[in-house]
């Protein structure tokens, strides 16, 4: 009796595991389909370039905004980790919301204008076309990228100050560590642009890095005067 009960329990467990595996497989399959459809929409509108530009421009803005907060805190002799983290997160959230709304409205207006011009040329409605679906998806995707980029770069940049808040890192080390991380992020953005345009990685990386170094050096010089 006990042996039969144990066998039944094992069979039930195996059936449950198989069903769980099927659900997982279906979920993965659905995600792959969604990703393929998004790629199809990007290719349809040739939107890869504009999406990359949104990511680079707003990532650049997020990193420089945090650098400005950090250097400004240094200038005023107020290197308070809690203030820097709070101000950076607040600024990045503001940029994320502004970026999402601005990109969504702007991109949608431009794409709809193109569709309406095409409708006038074809003398037909494209409301239910693949092109209209692609416009809706790319508009949303552009807005999401515009929002996430500054938030992501800002959060990475303030990591040392988060550690300093928890007394895991001295504030002076957090200051120089954050500046170093930001410079590396800026250089990486330049390298990404160079790879896209098939140009010299070092040259483009230094272009982006120079802007960050200019902010740092100017702030440090002013901090020594004030």
41-50, 114-123, 203-212: range with highest mean pLDDT: 203-212
Instruction: Name every residue whose Cβ is closer than 8 Å to that of residue 153 and which is 6 or more positions away in sequence.
Output: 59, 60, 62, 63, 66, 92, 185
- pLDDT value of residue 4: 53
**pLDDT for residue 222 is more than 80:** no
Q: Long-range pairs for 77-81 at CB < 8 Å and ≥24 separation?
A: 77/223, 79/171, 79/172, 79/175, 80/171, 81/161, 81/162, 81/164, 81/165, 81/171, 81/174
Residue 156: per-residue pLDDT: 95
pLDDT score, position 9: 62
User: C-alpha 114: how far from its chain's center?
Assistant: 27
Q: What is the tens place of the pLDDT at every residue in 123-140? A: 777 677 777 788 888 888
Yes or no: say if 80 and 73 are a contact pair by the CB < 8 Å rule.
yes
pLDDT band at 195 (very low <50, low <70, confident <90, very high): confident
- Please report the sign of the dihedral spanned by the C-alpha atoms of residue 38, residue 42, residue 48, residue 49: negative
pLDDT in tens, 76-114: 788 899 999 999 999 999 999 998 998 889 888 888 887
Domain positions in the chain are 1-45, 48-225
């Amino acid at each position: 009796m006990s042996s039969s009960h144990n066998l039944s329990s094992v069979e039930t467990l195996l059936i449950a595991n198989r069903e769980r595996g099927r659900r997982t497989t279906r979920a993965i399959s659905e995600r792959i389909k969604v990703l393929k459809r998004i790629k199809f929409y990007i290719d349809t509108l040739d939107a890869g370039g504009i999406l990359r530009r949104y990511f680079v421009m707003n990532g650049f803005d997020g990193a420089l905004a945090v650098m400005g907060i950090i250097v400004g805190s240094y200038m005023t002799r107020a290197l308070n980790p809690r203030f820097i983290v709070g101000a950076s997160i607040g600024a990045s959230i503001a940029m994320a919301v502004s970026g999402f709304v601005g990109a969504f409205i702007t991109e949608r207006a431009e794409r709809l204008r193109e569709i309406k011009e095409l409708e006038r040329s074809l003398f037909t409605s494209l409301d239910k076309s693949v092109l209209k679906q692609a416009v809706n998806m790319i508009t949303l995707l552009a807005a999401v990228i515009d929002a996430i980029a500054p938030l992501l770069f800002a959060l990475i940049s303030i990591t040392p100050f988060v550690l300093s808040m928890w007394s895991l890192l001295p504030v002076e080390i957090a200051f120089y560590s954050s500046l170093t991380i930001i410079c590396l992020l800026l250089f990486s953005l330049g390298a990404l642009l160079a790879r896209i345009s098939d140009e010299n990685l070092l040259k483009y990386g230094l272009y982006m890095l120079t802007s960050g170094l200019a902010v740092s050096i100017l702030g440090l010089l002013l901090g020594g005067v004030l």
